[in-house]
């Protein structure tokens, strides 16, 4: 149990460099981060989007951050890998999970999963040249959870540094539930280090999933490894203490101090203000930062009683001062719900409409 590794999944529009750095200043428990996906790596060494803070090693920890790419073009993946390696990164991650039709229809993201031949050709070319770790994050399929059965043997032909599986299908988007049993059925079939992702929103849900996917139950004598790597997602956006809670529970000690509700509210308040100030600094004071802060609040609202009231108040703000007042209103008038965030994934999706 002591050896569990927790990562935070990427969220386009939320977990940018500013978020990752501020989060690390305020909370512990996460071993590894991923950038939201990059696309359009057009040139060797000069891709414009690989020159900013999102990837600059002076703003990021190259030891614990894995840059992610969304692509179905081996040459583009190789350009990305080369540039990431030059910047000092140890691994890149290929996004084979993005479910949005405009992505999937172009056979990118989870739109690649129904095309094992295409994946094989692409990986064959990538592995001819790549000299940096190459990991994959995928779903069970785009329109059927059986698509993964034809893809896993292809993944097994290549030395992936890691395979993260979010056991939903693309057509589900983020609705319904992650199919933990289906993930469990993959464990004996996958060669790469396997990481579970999906619907970990509390210590209880973590414990339940961990017990279900415990690889030691499979009696595979040549490979009795337990699944000890978990990627957290919306659970951390809603309750940033989640990784600390999981570790405190797993280690059964106070390595991470799980503090009382008023202290937590204070820590949460400091984090939200720090993130806002950091983003404002980077955006030169532009009210554009409100979009990203609102995205985060669409999850963070679940840390408070009456989350809908919190969301309504934050959502309607258009000016910086209005937003600042709304945040103070939340922390002064709403009860902080601790320690569990009763977030159900579909509840979150509905609230964000």
Piece of 6-14, 245-253, 278-286, 302-310 that binds ligand FMN (CB under 6 A): 6-14
Computed over its alpha carbons, how large is the radius of gyration of the chain? 20
Contact flag: residue 235 with ligand FMN (CB under 6 A) = yes
C-alpha span between 123 and 72 (Å, rounded):
10
For residues 84-103, which are near ligand FMN according to CB under 6 A?
A: 95, 97
Question: Of 136, 122, 140, which Cα lies nearest the Cα of 78?
Answer: 122
Does 174 sit near ligand FMN (CB under 6 A)?
A: yes
- Specify the residue for token string 């999850």: 299
According to CB under 6 A, which residues from 256 to 315 bind ligand FMN?
A: none
Specify the residue for token string 């190459």: 134
Which pair of structure tokens corresponds to residue 58?
A: 């002076």
Closest separation in Å from C-beta 82 to ligand FMN: 21
State how far the Cα of 198 lies from the Cα of 343, in Å rounded to an integer.
Answer: 13
Asked if 233 is part of the footprint of ligand FMN (rule: CB under 6 A), the reply reads: yes
- List the 68-69 sheet strands across, edge first: 65-66, 32-34, 5-8, 229-232, 194-197, 162-169, 133-141, 91-96, 68-69
**Span near ligand FMN by CB under 6 A; candidates 44-52, 226-234, 263-271, 284-292:** 226-234
Give the binding-site size for ligand FMN (rule: CB under 6 A).
21
Of 111, 198, 307, 339, the one binding ligand FMN by CB under 6 A: 198
Give the footprint of ligand FMN on residues 330-349 (CB under 6 A). Answer: 345
11 binds ligand FMN (CB under 6 A): yes
- The nearer residue to ligand FMN, 122 or 296, going by C-beta atoms, is 296
Which of these segments, 4-12, 120-128, 207-215, 284-292, binds ligand FMN (CB under 6 A)? 4-12
Among 10, 111, 133, 307, interactor with ligand FMN by CB under 6 A: 10
Q: Which residues pair with 271 in a beta bridge?
A: none
Of 39 and 144, which CB lies nearer to ligand FMN in the complex structure? 39
284: left (phi over 0), alpha (psi -120 to 50) or beta: left
Please list every residue from 17 through 56 that binds ligand FMN, using CB under 6 A. Answer: 36-37
Contact positions vs ligand FMN (CB under 6 A): 9-12, 36-37, 68, 95, 97, 137, 166, 174, 197-200, 232-235, 345
């Amino acid at each position: 149990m002591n050896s569990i590794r927790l990562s935070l999944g990427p969220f386009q529009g939320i977990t940018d460099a500013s978020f990752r750095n501020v989060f690390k200043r305020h909370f512990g428990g996460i071993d590894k981060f991923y950038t939201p996906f990059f696309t359009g790596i057009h040139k060797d060494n000069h891709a414009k989007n690989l020159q900013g803070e999102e990837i600059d090693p002076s703003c990021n920890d190259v030891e614990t951050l894995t840059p992610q790419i969304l692509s179905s073009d081996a040459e583009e993946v190789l350009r990305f890998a080369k540039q990431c390696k030059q910047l000092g990164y140890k691994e890149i991650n290929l996004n084979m999970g993005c479910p949005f039709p405009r992505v999937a229809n172009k056979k990118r993201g989870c739109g690649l999963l129904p095309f094992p031949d295409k994946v094989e050709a692409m990986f064959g070319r990538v592995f001819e040249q790549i000299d940096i770790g190459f990991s994959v994050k995928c779903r069970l399929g785009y329109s059927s959870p059986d698509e993964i059965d034809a893809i896993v043997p292809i993944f097994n032909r290549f030395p992936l540094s890691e395979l993260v599986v979010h056991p939903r299908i693309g057509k589900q988007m983020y609705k319904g539930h992650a199919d933990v049993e289906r993930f469990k059925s993959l464990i004996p079939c996958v060669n790469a280090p396997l990481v579970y992702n999906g619907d970990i929103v509390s210590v209880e849900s973590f414990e339940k999933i961990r017990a279900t996917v415990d690889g030691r139950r499979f009696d595979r004598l040549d490979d009795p490894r337990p699944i000890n790597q978990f990627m957290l997602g919306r659970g951390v956006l809603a309750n940033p203490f989640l990784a600390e809670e999981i570790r405190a529970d797993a280690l059964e000690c106070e390595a991470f101090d799980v503090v009382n509700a008023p202290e937590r509210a204070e820590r949460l308040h400091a984090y939200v203000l720090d993130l806002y100030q950091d983003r404002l600094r980077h955006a030169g004071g532009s009210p554009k930062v409100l979009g990203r802060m609102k995205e985060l609040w669409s999850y963070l609202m679940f840390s408070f009683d009456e989350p809908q009231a919190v969301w309504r108040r934050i959502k309607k703000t258009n000016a910086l001062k209005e937003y600042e007042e709304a945040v103070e209103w939340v922390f002064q008038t709403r009860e902080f719900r601790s320690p569990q965030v009763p977030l159900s994934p579909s509840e979150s999706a509905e609230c964000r409409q």
